[in-house]
Chain A
Amino acid sequence: MTWAEFLPVIFMGLMGLSMFLYVVLDGFDLGVGMLLHRADDSQKDMMIASIGPFWDANETWLVLGVGILLIAFPKAHGVVMTALYLPIALMLIGLILRGVAFDFRVKAQDTHKPLWNRGFFIGSTVTSVAQGWMLGRFITGFAEGTAYDLFALAIAIALPCAYVLMGASWLVLKTDGELQRRAAQWGRTALIPVIIGMGLISLATPWVSSTVAERWFSLPQLIGLLPIPFATFACFVALWWTLSGARALGTLCWLPFILTIGVFLMGGLGLAYSLYPYVVMDRITIWQAASSTAALNLILAGCAFTVPAILGYTLFAHRVFWGKATELRYG
């Protein structure tokens, strides 16, 4: 493989990395948003405080992910954006509502606060459902038909559940007392549909796509791939164990969050393996869609400096707000 052929592979990796970071990082924000209406008023403030310093930066990974699609694979970008026109618009309105509700709720009159809380909940839910639907459509290469729509619908339900799991395990990590205990319970409730959903989707994907079926169910690949489902299963079992009883409420409070990341990572790896080298399933490969080598070289050089710096100062920001969340105050 020459450098020119290898570059698109690197960018697919970078795009995958940003999308993965987006799903993990904004996943907990959206999950917390979808759990908001279950908490009482002081718990609501604490839940928002736990994501307050981060949500803005978390959302930026989506911009980078879509940005790389736009920059590195411009010929696929238009196809994807046109095919997903309506769900994208829906997601954007959801994201707008979520983002502004977050800021308005503490600045508006106290009597308007419940309204903005509801806006935050609705925005988070609409965003998550729309993202699930888009993922479902994307996996099948935007194929038309009832079976494909049902497949997308299943993911549109499963992904929000997974975000709720993510949000709940984030709250277990960042809060304590009654809220933490309730969060563990929310996590366990969300776990069941996530397990069922992920199992069904894993079975359905090869069924709706012959490309995926070939890729997974042939020897010797199958043996090499077995660790992915096994690791996912192990994460689920461990999640169930830690979220039951009081196990996650003490020093192990970080474990559910890490295990949930593990579940997302395995899902992401499985998906990446199924899709590669297509950027639009069965239609456009990464090499057909790629920008010129000169443009890619330039962006790669830029990424080589900036992405480590971004990761570095993201870690810094998390360190500044390390430990249990406290009431947010503007300084």
Chain B
Amino acid sequence: MDLDPVLLARIQFAANITFHILFPTITIALGWMLLFMRWRWLKTNQRPWLTAYRFWTKVFALTFALGVVSGITMSFQFGTNWPGFMEKVGNIAGPLLGFEVLTAFFLEATFLGVMLFGHGRVSERIHMLATFLVAFGTTMSAFWILVLNSWMQTPVGYEIIDGEFHVTSWLEIIFNPSFPWRFAHMLLASFLTMSFLVAGVSAWQVLRRKANPSSAVALRAALTLAALLIPVQIVVGDMHGLNTLQHQPQKIAAIEGVWETERGVPLLLFALPNEAERRNDLAIGIPKMASFILTHEWDGELKGLNEFENHPPVKPLFFGFRIMVAVGTLMLLVSWVGCWILRRHGWQPERAPRWLIASIAGMTFSGWVATVAGWYVTEIGRQPWIVQGLIKTADVASSTPAPYIALTLAGYLITYAALIVCYIGVLRYMAEKPSDTYDPAPSGGANVLGSTQLARKAGEA
């Protein structure tokens, strides 16, 4: 069997960014959640908030470490897998990545130490500031990376001289047409992923009868946040889709499984796109619905895949999109029903029906599924281009022989699979541990070094 080096390089890069995105998706929003928990504790002096803060700080540290190491891998793989990319668009991609390192990486990594271990060494205010800077740093990092990614989808503000890209307007590049939607969509995805993780782990604690006083407050905060954000995400996602229709119609055609340009296109709930014969098998759909959603007219025209000389592979987009939407719908259902029922039980999860708690626990990693499916849609949807319409992925691939790529790919895959298993295993172990192991009672253990000044005060009172 002949191995195609470009395909292998793509699989390797995809494996790495898939593994990477799992962790920042959590930490971007969890940083803000920690700030919120800390603030609630300072404001209300209710112990469960501090317990929750201490538990989720440990999760944050673990998740952050996984994000950092896989992020470093990515910074090298730009060069090892796509050396031609930087040679051509270095003038644009370089500064964007540079500003990410300079304004975000160092900020989050440096203040993380103060945030994690600085208690008792700095004042409460400086500690809050450190927590804020970590949360701000992770968000800035998302900002720069999404600027670059969006520019690759909808390139503007450049001129090409001798095959090399030069900047004509940084403002146009940064605020390129798809950036605002993609950035909003991703931040919301991050907050939803984090919300379901926090709610899910808390529900798991209740389900396994290992709940501590923080489980109920964390569950309430996270589930409420999820219930508030999911409708916003659905609206933003829709607008992101309309924006894509305008700038990358071939991506939408693949998502909807439209081969021929037509009016009154049905919304396919299920089908098997058959790329060889350029049609859908076993299609079940709602008549005219796709046209209505995308053009806001029942008879609106949608361009078909046959109109495009280059279009992305249809199956991954078609199914990826449906997986994302299905998970989103489940999120809406679980968070709303959950909030409704839990409210009626005074937000005491032990008294709520067990099936509900089990469903929330079952949704713990739902954000991962939706995020990864969504990213596959948008990234595979850009193929065969690396910069939409301008540079093909195959033209910038490295000349590294296929067996080398296959060998390292195997190494990465084994490492990543093992780490995901360890991460989930350790998360479960931490969740089931009694809370006084990491949050000792104020009178006893709080006077040792590293505890907060306020905890000390509470102990004395």
Contact of A71 with B97 at beta-carbon distance under 8 Å, contacts A95-B72, A107-B62 already known: yes
Q: Are B61 and A103 in contact (CB under 8 A)?
A: yes
Q: Are A63 and B69 in contact (CB under 8 A)?
A: no
Q: Are B451 and A74 in contact (CB under 8 A)?
A: no
A326 and B451 CA atoms in complex are apart in Å by: 13
Which residue of B83, B99, B110 has the most chain A CB atoms within 10 A of its CB atom? Answer: B110
Please, which residue of chain B has its CB at the minimum distance from the CB of A103? B65
Question: CB < 8 Å: which of B84, B408, B429 contacts A86?
Answer: B408
Pick the interface stretch among A33-41, A237-245, A300-308: A300-308
Contact of A321 with B113 at beta-carbon distance under 8 Å, contacts A64-B101, A71-B90, A327-B449 already known: yes
Q: Does B66 contact A (CB under 8 A)?
A: yes
Q: Are B404 and A85 in contact (CB under 8 A)?
A: yes
Cβ of B442 to closest chain A Cβ, rounded Å: 14
Q: Are A313 and B111 in contact (CB under 8 A)?
A: yes
Question: CB < 8 Å: which of B83, B98, B411 contacts A79?
Answer: B83
* CB contact list, A301-325 vs B, under 8 A: 302-303, 306-307, 310, 313-314, 316-317, 320-321
If over half of A's interface residues share one DSSP class (helix, strand or loop), that class is named, otherwise mixed; here it is: helix
Q: Does A331 contact B (CB under 8 A)?
A: yes
Q: Are B75 and A63 in contact (CB under 8 A)?
A: yes
Question: CB < 8 Å: which of A56, A79, A92, A295 contacts B76?
Answer: A92
* CB contact list, B99-134 vs A, under 8 A: 99, 101-103, 105-107, 109-114, 116-122, 127
A15 and B66 CA atoms in complex are apart in Å by: 26
Please, which residue of chain A has its CB at the minimum distance from the CB of B445? A329
Q: Are A331 and B72 in contact (CB under 8 A)?
A: no
Cβ of A292 to closest chain B Cβ, rounded Å: 5
Question: CB < 8 Å: which of B86, B99, B110, B451 contacts A77?
Answer: B86
A52 and B79 CA atoms in complex are apart in Å by: 30
Q: Are A292 and B166 in contact (CB under 8 A)?
A: yes
Question: CB < 8 Å: which of B68, B84, B99, B103 contacts A59?
Answer: B68
Please, which residue of chain A has its CB at the minimum distance from the CB of B90? A74
**Tally of A-B residue pairs with Cβ under 8 A?**
232
Question: CB < 8 Å: which of B68, B79, B91, B422 contacts A291?
Answer: B91
Cβ of A315 to closest chain B Cβ, rounded Å: 10
Name the A residues within 8 Å of B61 (CB-CB).
103, 330
A139 and B118 CA atoms in complex are apart in Å by: 41
Q: Are B72 and A313 in contact (CB under 8 A)?
A: no
A84 and B114 CA atoms in complex are apart in Å by: 35
Contact of A59 with B72 at beta-carbon distance under 8 Å, contacts A71-B98, A329-B449 already known: yes
Please, which residue of chain A has its CB at the minimum distance from the CB of B89? A74
Name the B residues within 8 Å of A70 (CB-CB).
75, 78-79, 86, 90, 94, 97
Q: Are B94 and A291 in contact (CB under 8 A)?
A: yes
Contacts A/B (CB < 8 Å), 13 sampled? A71-B95, A81-B79, A89-B408, A95-B72, A100-B66, A108-B429, A291-B91, A326-B449, A327-B450, A329-B450, A329-B451, A330-B54, A330-B58
Chain B residues near A (Cβ < 8 Å): 54, 57-58, 61-62, 64-66, 68-73, 75-76, 78-80, 83-84, 86-87, 90-92, 94-95, 97-99, 101-103, 105-107, 109-114, 116-122, 127, 164, 166-167, 170, 398-400, 404, 407-408, 411-412, 415, 419, 422, 425-426, 429-430, 438, 448-452
